[in-house]
Structure 1
C-alpha cells in the first residue's frame, strides 16, 4: 500500500469516526485509528485546514469545555469519495486473497481446507 493510500485510509477512518461521534477526544481518535495523540493532533489540524472538519465547542460536563469536530459539507463529500475508494481497494484485496486461497487449496488437492 502506498503512503498516499495509507493517508487516505487514515482520513477515511477519522472522518467516519467523527461523523458518528463528533465529541470524540483526540486521545480516543488516536487509539481507534492506531496513531499517537501528537499525530492525531497534526492530522486533525490538516483536516481543519482543508475545510473538511470544523472545530466547535460543546459542554462535556459542568465547568468543562471540550471540542467537537464536525464534518463540513466538503468533509461529508470527501468522506463519501474516500468510502468508495476504500471499498474498491478492499474488494480488490478480497478477490486477490480469495484467489490465493483457492490456489493453495488446489495445491493441496482438497476441496476445502481442514484444520
Structure 2
C-alpha cells in the first residue's frame, strides 16, 4: 500500500504527509505492529517453570509455593548455563547464523552481478 496519495487521492491528499512520503503508510503500519508486539512481550508473564518440590496428588501436580528468591535466581542462572553448554542448541544457532549470512550475501550480491559488465562474467 505504498503511494496512497496516488492510488487513493480521494482519501489521501497529495499535499499531506502521505503525498510527500509515499512509503510512510506501510512503514508506519509495520512500526505500530512491532511496537504492539514489543509491549505484548514485555507484559507477558515468565514461562520458565521451576518444579522445585512438586508433589503429585491424584494425578495433579502441586508445586511448592515457598521458593525463596535465592533458589529462583540460582535456578535461572543454572538454566542459562545449561543452555550455553547444550551443544545441539548451540550448533543449530551457529548453522542458522551461517546460512543467514550466506542468504543475505546472495541476495545483496546477485543484483550487483546481474547488472555488471560482461567482462566480469555477469549477465549483462
Same fold (TM over 0.5): no
Structure 1-normalised TM-score? Answer: 0.38
- Answer 1 or 2: which has greater strand percent: 1
The structure, 1 or 2, with the larger RCO (C-alpha pairs under 8 Å, 6+ apart) is 1
Structure 2-normalised TM-score? Answer: 0.36
Based on CA coordinates, which of the two structures has the bigger radius of gyration? 2
